């Protein structure tokens, strides 16, 4: 399963680096979750974080942990999460 977290950023480059470091640190501590990196999409969004996870719960664990530790960043005025499932993950027969 892939999770794409699109967002617009209004902070400084230093704050952005700190934010991504926090996300990477949290995701590194969750078995079954792999942070693939930060990308610049060809859309209205400034950035997108890409995660590969074994389950939806693993992806959600990263978000919940961040919110418990740091709360809303205040530097992200708009965000969107997109989840990509394979047919097998949805339970369709092969």
CA-based torsion, 86, 38, 60, 28: positive or negative: positive
Please indicate, yes or no, if residue 89 is contained in any of the structural domains: no
- pLDDT tens, 46-86? 999 999 999 889 999 999 999 999 998 899 999 999 999 98
Please indicate, yes or no, if residue 10 is contained in any of the structural domains: yes
Give the other-Cβ count within 10 Å of 26's Cβ. Answer: 20
Please indicate, yes or no, if residue 93 is contained in any of the structural domains: no
CA–CA distances in Å: residue 93 to residues 6, 53, 56, 83, 85: 31, 21, 20, 20, 14
Please indicate, yes or no, if residue 40 is contained in any of the structural domains: yes
Please indicate, yes or no, if residue 26 is contained in any of the structural domains: yes
- 90 versus 6: the higher-pLDDT residue is 6
| Structure token pair of residue 61 | 């664990």
Residue 9: which CATH number?
A: 3.30.70.920
What is the domain count for the chain? 1
| Structure token pair of residue 32 | 């079954």
Asked whether the predicted pLDDT for residue 88 surpasses 90, the reply is: no
Please indicate, yes or no, if residue 65 is contained in any of the structural domains: yes
Which pLDDT score is estimated for 86? 86
Domain extent for 28: 2-84
- pLDDT tens, 2-49? 999 999 999 999 999 999 999 999 999 999 999 999 999 999 999 999
Question: CA nearest 20: which of 82, 92, 73?
Answer: 73
Please indicate, yes or no, if residue 92 is contained in any of the structural domains: no
Which pLDDT score is estimated for 94? 67
Please indicate, yes or no, if residue 55 is contained in any of the structural domains: yes
Which pTM does this prediction carry?
A: 0.90
């Amino acid at each position: 399963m892939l999770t794409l977290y699109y967002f617009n950023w209004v902070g400084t480059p230093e704050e952005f680096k700190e934010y991504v470091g926090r996300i990477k640190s949290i995701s590194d501590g969750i078995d079954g979750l792999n942070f693939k990196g930060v990308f610049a999409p060809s859309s209205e969004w400034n950035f997108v974080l890409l995660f590969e996870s074994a389950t939806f719960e693993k992806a959600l664990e990263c978000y919940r942990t961040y919110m418990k530790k740091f709360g809303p960043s205040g530097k992200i005025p708009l965000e969107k999460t997109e989840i990509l499932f394979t047919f097998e993950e949805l339970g369709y027969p092969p």
